[in-house]
Structure 1
Amino acid sequence: MTSSAEQKKSKPMPLEGIKILEYGVFHAGPGSTAILGDLGADIIKIESGFGDPERYWTKVAGIDMAMPDGESIMHEVSNRNKRGIYLDIMTEKGREIFHRLVQDADVFMTNLRKTTKKKLGIDYETLSAVNPKIIHANVSGYGPEGPMSNIGAFDPLGQARSGLMFATGSAEPTMLHLGVLDQSTAIAASHAILTALLVKERQGIGQEIHVSLYSTALWMQHPNMMLASALSINPCVTGIRTQHSPLRNRFQCKDGKWIIGTHHPEEKYWSVFCRGMKMEAILEDPKYTDTAGRPMTGAELIAIFDAAFLKKTRDEWMEVFQPLGLMFCPVLHVAEVEHDPQALINGYVVPFDHRSLGRINIPGYPVHFSENSAGTRFSAPGIGEHTREILEEIGYGSDRIEDLKKQGVVK
């Protein structure tokens, strides 16, 4: 660890002292509290039965997501920074413990269905009677109202309902993998919780908040929605390269790697780009350059640049473009990002000692604070790993805890 990294880690975390209680499954909901854990919040995850089913979700589309301990890496993503308690809240004594935890909490988060919340007694009406200032955070598939409000959903369904699957401009729906909308929803939910915490501090009130996969997918497409509704334009532009300007396009290089550039306004960069490519003659040809000094989009022009880009490797082209102030960057596979110097120097990828995976690189927190630190603190808990610790914190002695274990209330 570098001295600057050590200095950053020694700084206080923004949400130290905030207590969050969670009764959720999979990622879109629990991912939000994991983010707040990155900011220092104390999070208690309640599980019962066989626990969060995400623990056992180890295969998707031929990918094996199992860690050495047999549990899914996705469960680790969703539940880092949390302490775990096994608690049967349907028993009288379990309900008593649950209400004690609610009384001490600033936030309660769940992503269970509306009817399930009512059945379990974890709905806002019930819990606000226990703690009137509780922030009751909900994550659903399609929102709190309407005919789909009590229907479960996973990431691909939110993509489908929102139009996100057509955002690439393809004729056939295209699914973004893996958990892209789930993670975006988790971010939106963490944003909502932070806002409600500020309201609680300023106005002294708790409240119920609600985020959905559907709402988040629409919010992600805010520009597209405006183009479609305000201007009646189909914003889902095809990715076919010949239909895009050379200044907003991707090219394959000599080493088989790809590079992409995006430049606006085009008249400012077109001549710089052509001279950097040693292709000044294009600037004088009306077939390729219009009277305003912009490129004429078309298959013939793209083919000319395709041939030119094959003369150098991707890194060699980057060395040409960067001194000219042209906005190009390499197109990376996600596995390459782990070793990207730009990610490493900014702490966007950081080393982490995981208890079953060992020393690995993980995503760092995406925000830099001058006076605070943020990031993953510890691995996801086993089922009931911190049951005794949590019960002792709220005043339960060893004999009483053992009795609760014998009765199956806790584990």
Structure 2
Amino acid sequence: MPESPADQAALAASQTRLPLNGITVLDLTLARAGPTAVRHFADWGADVIRIEPPPGEGEDVAGRRHGFDFQNLHRNKRAITLNLKTREGHEAFMRLAQKADVILENMRANVKHRLKVSYDDVRAINPRIVYGSISGFGQDGPYGARAGVDQIAQGMGGLMSITGEPGRGPMRVGIPVDDLTAGNLLALGCMMALFDRERTGVGRWVTTSLLEAQVFMLDFQASRWLMEGEVAGQAGNDHPTGIPTGVFPTSDGHINIAASSSRVFTRFCEAIGRPGWLQREDWKTQAGRSRDRKAINAAIGEITATKPSAHWIELFEANGIPCGPINTIDQVFADPQVRHLGMATKMHSPHVGDTEVVASAINISGFSKAIRSYPPDAGEHTGEILKSVGYSDAELNDMRQKGVI
């Protein structure tokens, strides 16, 4: 059915007016954790100004910039180059900061103070600023001065001790989970600070760290220790406490099955033709099944290995038993539900052409999450942005000659 004029107007409005329109963000972030936070602001309509140092000689800036990682992280922004170590560069930054709403950074904790672009420096000229910081281990304390990266935090925060198969040694998770979580948490915290500013007129300093994010993400594994004194270990593909939940072989691969609750386990046993399992004293409770996980997993595996994955997924879905295939990443983006959700979103760039990047996982009724602009080249908008805060062409030329921009 064709869209009505009203529907078409609403769609057009959703692509030009977004929830964060009118918010200006200065992006001082590096690597992944900080840009993950900034991406939420950029995707939902803030005017994000990415501030980078002028490139050094011999750096492969274009190669990195036009690669899959940078392109996925830095869409919907404008970009300037600015040497914050110079007097002129610092002055230009402070002019921008005076009109900004949010500043986001993930430098080592002491660097922003050395550059005189810290929260205290900025709020002296703009008390409404919301200043967001990610560090490796916190802004102070015994490890405050340390640099931190994702895998170090995975190890220190306990994740590697509970990931992987028992007896095989520590194992990292296959994505930078601490970087991503810290970035998501910082964005959430800054949004709350902006909401609070509407009532108070005063900004806040919002901080998190890779270590805090990892400890937070331990979730029930952390509360097992805090409340019960249990130190979780590695459980491989099994759920740490609810069995049977894990990976099971099929005649053409593997599938995930989650049938740990008594109700679902009953349906599961009936579906695979093993109602007698329900009468076994050692398997009647979740605790009992967890104690005897090796035996029950082996028994299930003998059955599931006789037929292909599609057979079992169809059967279990029909009986309300959570299950699913184990997809490679190419299969993920071919999955009909992932395609329906639009998790690969189109983007055009004059540098890389027509491509796709990962869409925001947030959906807000009435608003589009289509990519509005490609990741800019370094300094692509330096002139227009600095002119907007009063710089003349002559001043910009002088700053270029001095290596400030």
Name the TM-score class by shorter chain. 0.7 to 0.9
Structure 1 contact 133–204 (Cα < 8 Å) conserved: yes
In structure 2, what is the Cα distance between the partners aligned to 1:18 and 1:371? 19
23 and 283 in structure 1: CA distance in 2 versus 1, 3 angstrom threshold: closer
Contact 1:259-1:328 at 8 Å conserved across structures: yes
State the distance in 2 between where 1:409 and 1:264 align. 61
Provide the rounded CA distance (Å) in 1 between the counterparts of 2:211 and 2:221: 15
Secondary structure in 2 matching 1:14 = coil
Q: Does 1:290 align with 2:284?
A: yes
Deviations 1:133-164 (A, max 9, x none): 11111110000121211111111111111111
Q: Tell me the distance in 1 between the aligned counterparts of 2:51 and 2:194.
A: 21
Match status 1:252 vs 2:257: no
Q: Residues 344 and 350 of structure 1 are in contact (CA less than 8 Å); yes or no, is this contact kept in structure 2?
A: no
Look up the SS of the partner of 1:315 in the other structure: helix
TM-score by length of 2: 0.87
**Aligned residue number for residue 336 of structure 1:** 331
Counterpart residue number, 1:277: 272
- Residues 54 and 75 in structure 1, CA contact (< 8 A), matched pair in contact too: no
The answer on whether the counterparts of 2:242 and 2:286 sit within 8 Å (CA) in structure 1 is: no
Instruction: Report the equivalent of 1:403.
Output: 398
1:220 aligned to 210, 217, 220, which one? 217
Percent identical:
26
The structural deviation recorded for 1:39 is: 1.3
Matched, 1:265 2:296: no
Bigger shift: 225-234 or 389-398? Answer: 389-398
State the distance in 2 between where 1:341 and 1:75 align. Answer: 27
Shift of 1:107: 0.7
Change in CA separation of 1:147 and 1:281 when aligned onto 2, cut-off 3 Å: closer
Q: CA deviation at 1:242?
A: 11
Does the CA-based 8 Å contact 2:238-2:244 persist in structure 1?
no
| Aligned with 2:170 (options 167, 170, 173) | 173
- How many pairs align? 395
Tell me how far 1:294 sits from its aligned partner. 8.1
Q: What pairs up with 1:8-407 in 2 under 5 angstroms?
A: 10-11=13-14, 12-50=17-55, 71-168=66-163, 170-171=166-167, 172-239=169-236, 247-256=244-253, 258-266=254-262, 268-284=263-279, 286=280, 289-290=283-284, 297-374=292-369, 376-407=371-402
1:276–1:324 Cα contact (<8 Å) kept: yes
CA 1:290 to 1:110, structure 2 compared with 1: closer, same or farther past 3 Å?
Answer: closer
Say if 2:37 and 2:184, in contact at 8 Å, map to a contact too: yes
Q: Against the structure 1 CA distance between its residues 147 and 299, is the aligned structure 2 distance closer, same or farther, given a 3 Å change threshold?
A: closer
Alpha-carbon spacing, 1:6–1:72, altered in 2? closer, same or farther (3 Å): farther
Is the CA contact 1:55–1:72 (under 8 Å) kept in the aligned structure 2? no
The answer as to whether partners of 2:72 and 2:358 remain within 8 angstroms in 1 is: no
| Residues 37 and 376, structure 1, Cα contact 8 Å, conserved in 2 | no
Aligned-pair RMSD on alpha carbons? 3.1
Q: What amino acid sits opposite 1:33 in the alignment?
A: V
Mean Cα deviation higher: 180-189 or 42-51: 42-51
Contact 2:71 2:357 in 1 (8 A): no
Give the structure-1-normalised TM-score: 0.86
Cα gap change, 1:264/1:306 in structure 2, threshold over 3 Å: closer, same or farther? closer
Q: Determine if contact 2:42/2:48 at 8 Å carries over to the other structure.
A: yes
The whole-number CA distance in structure 1 between the counterparts of 2:250 and 2:282 is 22
Is the 1:135–1:193 contact (alpha carbons within 8 Å) kept by the matching residues of 2? yes
Measured in 1, the distance between the counterparts of 2:256 and 2:376 equals 41
